[in-house]
Each structure stands twice: as structure tokens, then as C-alpha cells.
Chain A
Amino acid sequence: MKAFGDIWRSNLFQKWLMAVSGLLLVLFLLGHLSGNLLVFLGREQINEYAHGLRTMGHGMIIWVVRLGLLSFFVLHVTSAITLARRNRAARPAKYHRVESRASTLASRTMLYSGLLLLSYVLYHLAHFTWGAVHSEYYAQACPPSAGCVDCIPDVYSMIVSSFQQPLISITYLLSMIMVGLHLNHAIASAVQTLGVTNRRIVPVMRILGPGLSIIIALGFSSVPLAIILGFVKI
């Protein structure tokens, strides 16, 4: 048996960490998306939902989930950067001509779409969680910092007034294209890394992965699109 440190540093273990953390983040995205879509059911539904998330388990659950998300995110990004650096070092001299046969735009741009998503996530948190940017819209949610402790926050107004700004909506829509591109390769790739060889599952995953990426990207995009087209109003 090898020392666990050697295994931890190995490419395959780092890949496994990236796959597991990535799939857990995809699960989170699906939960996040189902919450977002409550906007279409109306102001009360999404506000109650947001209030529920904040207060679930005496307000403890949200912190457990946040801590989990943070650690998956850190693992995902650090393993990706470690592997990308090693992969670059593995081919010091480049070819003059390369003709690809199997790779896709999504698979070749994983590092770039990933890094763009990293910056997007920071912006997204600054917007809707920290209120550090676009704070005029954030204030409409009546956050705890504004004295709202037990009241139900008005996230509906925060979302709708934010996305009524074309620049904000366009930024989000572009980012969702990035999410779709990243997941287009990511989901099926993670299944391969986890070692699924079942001949009934693998072909399904190679279709389900890109399919799910489109569903997630379109699902998230539907909210800013509906707001900017005037289907969802204050």
C-alpha cells in the first residue's frame, strides 16, 4: 500500500476530487435552479422559500450547506489548476499542426470556462448574498443588516429590479452560456472519471450530460429573460 500523501498528489486522485466535487456542485445547481423558478409562481412563494432557507434548523442548515459548498468549490478549483499546470508541463514542445478528431469546443475550453465561472460566482455572491455590488437592489430584499430579523425578506423585488437593468441581465445570460459550455463536457466527463463502465449507463450519460447542461443553462436564463421581456414584473 502506498502512502496516502502520494496517492492524494497523484493525477488520478486529483481528477477524482474534481469529479466528485463537480458533481456535488451540479446537484447544488439543480436545487438552486428549482428555487429560482419559484419566481414564476409569484412574490409570496419565492419570498417564503428564501425565508425558509434562512431559518431552516434555527438558521444552522444554511451554514452547513454554505460550508460544504465552499469546500467543494475550493477542492474543485485547486485540483483543476493543479492538473492544468501538470498537463501543460507534460507537453513542453508543441506540434506545428494538430487536427483534432474527438475533442469538442467545450472540452478544450474547460479551464477558461471554469475560470470565467469562478469570477462570475464571486460577482454573483457580491450581488445577491453580500450586497457589495448593486446594493440599491439588494436593500429591497430587506436583509438582516437592514434590521430585518424575523420578517420575510422581499427577494422577489430584489431579483426583478436587478434584472430589469439590461446590463445586469446580459452579464447573467452570458454567464449562463459559460455554465452550459462548462457542464456540456463536465457531467459525462465526471462519470467517466468515477469509473462507470456499465454499457447501458455510459451511452445514456454521454447524452444526458450535454442535455442536462442545456436544461440548467436555459432554466437559469429563463428568469432574467422573463423579467427583461416584461413577463415578470414588480
Chain B
Amino acid sequence: MNLRLHIWRQAGPNDTGMLKTYDVANVSEHMSFLEMLDVLNEDLIAKGEIPVAFDHDCREGICGTCGMVINGRPHGPVARTTACQLHMRTFKDGDEIYIEPWRAKAFPVLRDLVVDRGSFDRIIQTGGFVSVNTGNAQDGNAIPISKPDADRAMDAAACIGCGACVAACPNSSAMLFTAAKVGHLASLPQGQAERSSRAMNMVLQMDAEGFGSCTNHYECEAACPKGISAEFIAQMNRDFISTTFGGKA
């Protein structure tokens, strides 16, 4: 199939950037979206032009590295799918595709479709962990965890930190990401000791990074390639408020 792409090109963080139009011919329907961009880049390199920069790593939908807004939707039109797992059979011959980077103050564009998601790392650094004193590794199954708790923790832990929630949110809010991390550890006994300070610190760091706040549109939930539920946001809200009023989360 032949496609017309409108891709955001930006030489660096301080460049203003603009959409540029490219025609790609002979795209196979079996290609992934990133492979289609690889073909475009090969073509650009052959012509002596600068290839389109985009993030990618595992290309099997589990690492959270790739991410771009495809036709107005993070990771493209297919639900619960990362850009690398989006296949060109979703599109048809003659389609025009708009490809833009995640847009958020807290995710500055580094180049073309690559954004700096260091703000997510800094949120994790303020509480997205369980402190463990050094020593021998604990015996497996030493702490019994019920199946519903384990399932719930796993549902939240499925977050790959790709940032699609921020990209989809009209307010560029990182609530779903942060709530998934808070909710993951809050579901497990190991996470209880630091539960209150974790919710408080991660929420305040989210503000400090310049993310917006949640207005409960649930665009994040719909865009999340891992289907994380907005219920974790409600749980984080509750942990934060009970900590604020002196209780334990």
C-alpha cells in the first residue's frame, strides 16, 4: 500500500519544529508501524536526508520505549496496543497518517518523535519502591499474599511507563502512571510500611514536574496499551487525602 505521512520534525529541544509530509510506497500490511518508519528512514538516508528519530527497543509491546501519537491517538487506533505492535493492516492504501510526539510540558521533545520522559523516573525516585535493608534474600512465599491481592498488584504492575496516559490526557496529567505505581505497591504487604509517604511524595513530585491534574475524562484508561484501570487513580486519591488528614493510607 502507499501512504502519505505527516510527521513532526524538530531538530532539537529548542527548535520550533513543524509537520512535514512524506510519501511511502509499497508498504506491506504485515509490517509493524515502526517497521514502516524504518522503511521511510532507509529511503531518507539513501536520499541523503536526516532520518526520523523515534524511540524503540523491544518491539514486542513490553518495554514502554516506543510511543507516538498516530492520527490523534497515542500508539494509534487499536486499543491495548503499543506502536510497535500496531500493524499496517490496520491502515489502507492511500491513508494519510499524522504522527506526532507525546505533548506535555513535562515531556520536552528532544528530537522529532523522541521526548524526554525523565520526569517519570523522578516520580519513581520519590517513592515508587519498597525500601529493603540489605541481607539475604527472603525465602520465597515467606509472606503469604492472597490471590485477589496478587492479581490486583499485577494489574497495576502491568504499567510499562510509556507515557500514553499523559499524551492522551487533555491536561497532560500523569495520574494513571503514578496511580499504577502507587496502587501496585499498595496492593502488597511489602508496600504497606511506606504507603502513606509514597502516595504523598509521588503526588507532589508529579506536580513539581509540571504535569496537569486529572479531570476524570478517562482518556488515559482508553489509551493505555496495558489497560490499567482508572480505579487506581481513585485509590491514590484516597491514600493521598487520608495521609493529608493525618491518617494512614
Contact = CB atoms under 8 A, between A and B. Distances in A.
B218 interface: yes
Task: Report, nearest first, the 7 A-B pairs whose CB atoms are least far apart.
Answer: A195-B238, A90-B212, A11-B213, A99-B72, A87-B171, A103-B217, A97-B72
A90 B106 CA distance: 7
Interface of A: 2, 6-7, 10-16, 83, 86-104, 107-108, 110, 185, 188-189, 192-197, 199, 202
A97 B71 contact: yes
B235 to A, nearest CB: 5
Given A95-B69, A97-B98, A195-B234, A90 B217 contact: no
Contacts of B213: 11-12, 14-15, 83, 86-87
A95 B102 CA distance: 9
A96 B100 contact: yes
A91 B19 CA distance: 18
Interface in B98-153: 98, 100, 103-106, 109
A76 to B, nearest CB: 14
Contacts of A202: 231, 234
A96 B6 contact: yes
A101 B73 contact: yes
Given A12-B240, A103-B170, A197-B234, 9 more contacts: A2-B200, A11-B207, A14-B213, A87-B213, A90-B106, A96-B98, A101-B73, A107-B216, A188-B216
Contacts of A98: 72
Contacts of A10: 203-204, 207
A102 B105 contact: no
Interface residues of B, number: 49
Nearest to B220: A102
A197 B100 contact: no
A11 B216 CA distance: 13
B215 A189 contact: yes
B241 A16 contact: yes
A98 B106 CA distance: 19
Contact of A87 (B100, B215, B235, B238): B215
Contact of A95 (B103, B210, B216): B103
B221 A102 contact: yes
B172 A102 contact: no
B237 A192 contact: yes
A102 B219 contact: yes
Contacts of A15: 213-214, 237
A95 B215 contact: no
A8 to B, nearest CB: 9
25 contacts: A10-B203, A11-B213, A13-B241, A83-B215, A86-B213, A87-B170, A87-B172, A87-B212, A88-B212, A89-B212, A91-B171, A92-B105, A93-B103, A95-B72, A96-B100, A97-B69, A97-B71, A101-B222, A102-B221, A103-B218, A107-B217, A189-B215, A192-B237, A193-B216, A195-B241
A110 B215 contact: yes
A107 B215 contact: yes
Nearest to B17: A93
A1 to B, nearest CB: 8
Contacts of A6: 204
